[in-house]
Amino acid sequence: MPSLHPLLSGFAPIWALIGIGYLVGRSGLLGPHADAVLSRFSFHLAMPAALFLMIARTPLNRFANPSMLAFAAGTALAAGLGLLAAHRFFGRGLASGTIGGMASGYVNSANLGIPVALQVLGDASFVGPVVLFQTLLVTPIVLTVLDTGRAGRRAALTLPVRNPILLAVALGAAVSATGWHPPAELARSCELLGGAGVPAALVALGMSLHGRPATAADTGTGAGTVPGAGADIGAGPGSGAGPGNRRYAEVGVTVVLKTLIQPLAAFAVGAGLLHLPPHQLLTVVLFSALPTAQNVFVYAAQYGHSTALARRSILCSTVVSMATLSLVSWTLGPG
């Protein structure tokens, strides 16, 4: 059973890059719109390159196993409850509420999942199926909702061609299915470009922490939302709290769903319904307890929905998960 110190080493680079981003934003070194530029760079170039190469190199049948059923069940429950809470209790429209659902169930599987899995399990092979599940199933659903709200329902048919993330996923899946191996030059170029995605997203996240007036993207009233869905947060029927308190309450609900409900649901399905062996059960619950991925902030910033919720959910869930991941490894790990 690992101590807390080795687990912290997996979080250190994340906090360091966010901190650097905050200092850069505070100093104005890269200009007032650098965080938006970095987010667009990550969304349009770096992330597609990384996803294409990862999926192209991974057999698609890797995510078809009982452990993934338990993980998918936890994801579906947490994301569904997050979407429901965003709409029912915090007055968000479908598009901005989708960011809340994603923040409640989309795990940081790669840059945190790998070091945590290696430390606790001694094996990071489950990262592949989780990434495939999130990129091949969850991400297309989320981006379709966000893009349809902004561009209109008819545009949904051309979404895979217009959206670089979905295009990369589709091309990677086609390459994987055919067994074709990209040329070494192409693979190396994708590696270099894709390697910049996570650092750029984390630096952009840190820069966005520097205080500035609230925008429509922060409140959830970006293009495609129901008018007033985010700006009136906390002002719905029966609301007795101010907007600030409601925003913190929404982040609290999202973090509880992400760090507590999702792993508990995965445990219930894995242990009670699928009867997974102890090591597989530990693996599923551990990955379900990972914090919200920085991808959520990139998507929120790109589509102009609920950026403040995405940002706070990532930061708070990352802090809380240091305790919940240790608790999972202590309760389910070998003695």
Residues 249-276, mean pLDDT to the nearest whole number: 96
More confident call, 59 vs 41: 41
Q: What angle is formed at CA 75 by the lines to CA 152 and CA 333, rounded to 5 degrees?
A: 160
Measure the CA–CA gap between 16 and 221, rounded to whole angstroms: 31
Q: Write out the residue range of the structural domain in which residue 202 sits.
A: 4-332
Mean pLDDT comparison of 58-72, 137-151, 263-277, highest-scoring range: 263-277
- Measured CA to CA in angstroms, residue 332 lies from 12, 112, 270, 282, 324 at distances of 25, 19, 12, 6, 12
Predicted confidence band of residue 123 (pLDDT cuts 50, 70, 90): confident
Asked whether residue 218 carries a pLDDT value surpassing 50, the answer given is: yes
- CB contact at 8 A, 40 and 302: yes
What is the tally of structural domains in the chain? 1
User: For residue 283, what is the domain's CATH number?
Assistant: 1.20.1530
Asked whether residue 307 carries a pLDDT value surpassing 80, the answer given is: yes
What are the pLDDT digits (tens) for 146-194?
A: 887 665 555 555 555 678 888 888 899 899 999 898 899 999 999 999 9
- Measured CA to CA in angstroms, residue 264 lies from 19, 90, 93, 236, 247 at distances of 31, 24, 28, 31, 25
One-letter-per-residue 3-state SS of 211-265: CCCCCHHHHCCCCCCCCCCCCCCCCCCCCCCCHHHHHHHHHHHHHHHHHHHHHHH
Lowest mean pLDDT among 15-19, 61-65, 85-89, 312-316: 61-65
Instruction: Please give the single-letter amino acid code of residue 312.
Output: R
- CB contact at 8 A, 34 and 207: yes
Burial letters 279-315, b for 16+ CB under 10 A, else e: ebbbbbbbbbbbbbbbbbbbbbbbbbbbbbbbbbbbb
Task: Please state the pTM of the whole predicted model.
Answer: 0.78
- Measured CA to CA in angstroms, residue 181 lies from 51, 103, 187 at distances of 15, 34, 9
Predicted confidence band of residue 313 (pLDDT cuts 50, 70, 90): very high
